Amino acid sequence: MDIGFIGLGQMGCPMAKNLINAGHRLRVYDLIPNAVDLLVKEGAEAAHTAHMAVENADVVISMLPAGEHVKQLYLESNLLDSINTSTLVIDSSTIDPDSARLVASEAKKRGIRMLDAPVSGGTAGAQAGTLTFIVGGEADAVSMAKPILQVMGKNIFHAGANGAGQVAKICNNMLLAITMAGTAEALQLGVEQGLDPQVLADIMNNSSGGNWVLQRYNPYPGVMPEAPASHDYQGGFRVELMLKDLGLAEQMALSQTSRTPMGALARNLYSIHSAQGSHARDFSSIMQLYQRHIDE
Ligand code: NAD
């Protein structure tokens, strides 16, 4: 298939690579020319504008930071007017559900099918092609998208109508932020009582405290050689992006007066951590918020 791929960052780059490796023809665009060059080396064709990337594509995929970027791309730069009605548009960015619904409804007015399909699984899942896609949109468009999504992911959930993918993803990330902070807190508590973090992690992971963070993304440096914590918290999922998702959870909660006290606490912790200079580190670096007093 001819695929236009826009947004080649931590997630978009490995997702695009997997599509190339599966034999699809990719035309790629990013605001950062180096990001485009990296994919050209992998066999993609460079697009010098977003409009060039989508021209005559069977599928358009975008992987951008936030709702304002997605609205800027599809609405303010009139990209939808350059997309054929036969093209399926998949936005995999994590954004607020209202922006996802707005862009999808503008696409629909032009006869274009559009899905929100945010992902879970992090950069490791993007590289391995094992992401979970959480999709919002019409069932026939979801069926059309499946063969493409299956190249980049192993689980594909249809959450409901447009925007529902974002709602489910934001609930998940609020839970992840809470779990990460709680896991870091428990590890540091044990370490300050003299325990080895690896031993404590093994015990909790095989006890009732076991969770995804302990299984795959331990925040304590050196416990998991492949985790961002063992690489000075570089790569992975930036604190500023987690903070964005916690802000989206809070917006959703306010809109229905839902009670999310743990989400609000996690947002506070991440916001303090970000303001202390950690905005560009991986979100597991929240560990350092608990450790900081040792050096002070
Ligand atoms: P990133 O900042 O590394 O990449 C975003 C890319 O989009 C950048 O290369 C940027 O130059 C490009 N971009 C921004 N506006 C653009 C525009 N108008 N046209 C073309 N390119 C544009 O971010 P990321 O970590 O890849 O995350 C992307 C999305 O995926 C976010 O919504 C994030 O919340 C979500 N996400 C990230 C992870 C993770 O582990 N990093 C996991 C799940 C979901």
User: Same structural domain for residues 155 and 183?
Assistant: no
Residue nearest to atom 12 of ligand 1 (CA): 7
CB burial readout 78-110, b (16+ within 10 A) else e:
ebbebbeeebbbbbbbbbbbebbbbbbebbeee
* Rg of the chain (C-alpha set): 20
Residue 131 CA to residue 193 CA, distance in Å, equals 37
> Does residue 29 share a domain with residue 116?
yes
Number of structural domains (the chain) is 2
Question: Could you report the per-residue pLDDT of 147-201, keeping only the tens digit for each?
Answer: 999 999 999 999 999 999 999 999 999 999 999 999 999 999 999 999 999 999 9
Range of the domain at 283: 167-295
255 CA distance to ligand 1 middle (Å): 26
Expressed in angstroms and rounded, the spacing between residue 110 Cα and the centre of ligand 1 is 26
> Is residue 171 domain-shared with residue 100, that is, in the same domain?
no
Domain's final residue, options 161, 179, 198:
161
Atom of ligand 1 nearest to the CA of 72: 18
Residue nearest to atom 14 of ligand 1 (CA): 64
Residues involved in catalysis: 169
Same domain, 151 and 253: no
Residue with tokens 């791929």: 5
Rounded to two decimals, the ipTM of the complex is: 0.99
How far is ligand 1, taken at its centre, from the CA of residue 206, in Å? 34
- Same domain for 130 and 15, yes or no, is yes
pLDDT recorded at residue 235? 87
2-6/59-62 β-pairing: parallel
Same domain, 59 and 128: yes
Nearest to 91 by CA among 66, 115, 67, 55: 115
pLDDT confidence of residue 292: 74
> CA–CA separation, 200 vs 220, rounded Å?
11
pLDDT given at position 143: 97
DSSP one-letter string for 231-255: GTT-SSSBHHHHHHHHHHHHHHHHH
Measured in angstroms, how far is the CA atom of residue 288 from the centroid of ligand 1? 24
250 & 109 share domain: no
Distance (Å, rounded) from C-alpha 191 to C-alpha 172? Answer: 28
Residue that finishes a domain, picked among 133, 161, 189: 161
Last residue of a domain, one of 161, 187, 205: 161
**Could you tell me if 17 and 150 lie in one domain?**
yes
**What is the pLDDT of the chain when averaged over all its residues?**
96
CATH of the domain at 20: 3.40.50.720
- Ligand 1 pocket test, pick from 63, 71, 95 with the greatest ligand atom count within 8 Å of Cβ, gives 63
**In whole angstroms, how far apart are CA 259 and each of 5, 42, 49, 245, 265?**
38, 47, 43, 16, 12
